């Protein structure tokens, strides 16, 4: 009985303490411009960039190309060209060991520039930059660079 009381008290304490409970949802924000509407329900640009980078990490270049924005696709011309370019850049580096958010720049309207400090198996320090634009109701990758 005593143990049950302690467990119950701990559960109540954890639920009441913000540090132990889930984070509160982000406030609903709305940014409008160029016919697009960004709301609190729209995935964050960092989330979208990470989703796209996982495709590249997995060498799923065709899908990463098809999930990119119009500007990216126009520059790369075809999924095959992107696959060749990405494979040449990423192949020698090996697998991703870690990727940490370095910065997010949202100062250019509906554009986000996300930078990551990335460690690859064969390169200890790299910076990946993913540029996204808000188009057709979601964030789309416009550019990717690796230094």
CA dihedral over 8, 10, 13, 16, signed as positive or negative: negative
Kindly report the average pLDDT of the chain as a whole number.
79
% pLDDT > 70, the chain:
71
Q: DSSP string of 31-50?
A: EEETTEEE-TTSPPHHHHHH
Task: Catalogue all structural domains in the chain, each as residue range(s) with its CATH number.
Answer: 28-146 (3.10.450.100)
Q: What is the pTM of this model?
A: 0.72
Neighbours of 45 (CB within 10 A): 26
- Is-contact 101 118, C-beta < 8 A? no
What pLDDT digit, counting tens, does each position of 37-80 carry? Answer: 555 556 799 999 999 999 999 999 999 999 999 999 999 889 99
CB 115 within 8 A of CB 45: no
pLDDT digits (tens, 9 = 90+) for 12-42: 444 443 433 333 333 333 333 344 455 555 6
């Amino acid at each position: 009985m005593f143990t049950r009381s302690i467990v119950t008290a701990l559960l109540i304490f954890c639920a009441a303490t913000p540090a132990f409970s889930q984070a509160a949802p982000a406030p609903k924000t709305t940014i409008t411009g160029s016919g697009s509407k960004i709301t609190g329900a729209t995935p964050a640009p960092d989330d979208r960039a990470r989703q796209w980078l996982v495709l590249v990490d997995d060498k799923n270049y065709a899908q990463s190309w098809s999930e990119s924005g119009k500007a990216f696709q126009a520059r790369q011309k075809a999924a095959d060209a992107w696959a060749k370019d990405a494979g040449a850049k990423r192949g020698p580096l090996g697998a991703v060991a870690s990727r940490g958010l370095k910065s997010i720049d949202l100062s250019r309207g509906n554009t986000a520039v996300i930078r990551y400090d990335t460690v690859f198996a064969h390169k200890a320090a790299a910076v990946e930059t993913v540029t996204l634009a808000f188009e057709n109701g979601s964030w789309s990758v416009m550019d990717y660079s690796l230094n």
